[in-house]
Amino acid sequence: MRHQKRIAAHSGAADDYAEDFSGRDGDLSYTDLLRISLYLNKLKEKETVLKLKKTMRDDFKTEDTEVGGVVRLQEETIHFKSLPPGEKAGDRKYILGLDTIRQSYDSLAIWHCHADQDEHHPAAGPGKDDLDFVRNLQQSMVVVSHVKTNSINVDYVSKDGMVVDLGVY
């Protein structure tokens, strides 16, 4: 799978953490491994990738928040469900609303887009704020990042803050 290497943008956003799967599978829980398998299988579907790319384009049009929501398991497959933010705090933040927090407890993960990167500065993946957030909430996260025109990078973050790059699509 193609991988998007980070370029240093700010503290915690560069290669400050490992994100490869090889050699770290023993560090991930069985639940994390199942989730990663579900995401990789879903990302093989062209329709899923097209939907995430459309969501990314929608995020580019929104300057007062990032787009995000929860990942639901329904009928043996996963769905990226968009939910409104709790508040609008700028293009680099997705503030979870109370409904999103409630739904996150019986979801696979919370998720959001990082659409503020451009082709000359593809700082793909979660930032330090995302890693701190998942540790505090004790919920896993998926971050979908714009890396270049019509390409997205998808990263899984365990509730312990371990990052696994799921590839560029």
Q: For the whole model, what pTM was predicted?
A: 0.83
Count other Cβ atoms within 10 Å, centred on residue 13: 21
77-121, pLDDT tens digit by residue? Answer: 899 998 877 666 655 666 778 888 889 889 999 998 887 655 555
Tens-digit pLDDT profile for residues 141-159: 999 988 877 889 999 999 9
- Mean pLDDT (whole number) for 40-44: 95
- Residue 42 confidence (pLDDT) above 90: yes
- Sequence-distant (≥ 6) Cβ neighbours of residue 24 within 8 angstroms: 18, 162, 164
According to the model, what pLDDT value does residue 114 have?
A: 85
pLDDT tens-place string over residues 46-66: 999 999 999 888 888 877 667
Q: Is the pLDDT of residue 126 over 80?
A: yes
- Residue 72: pLDDT above 80? yes
Judge whether 155 and 38 are in contact, CB under 8 Å. Answer: no
Q: Which domains does the chain have, with CATH numbers?
A: 25-168 (3.40.140)
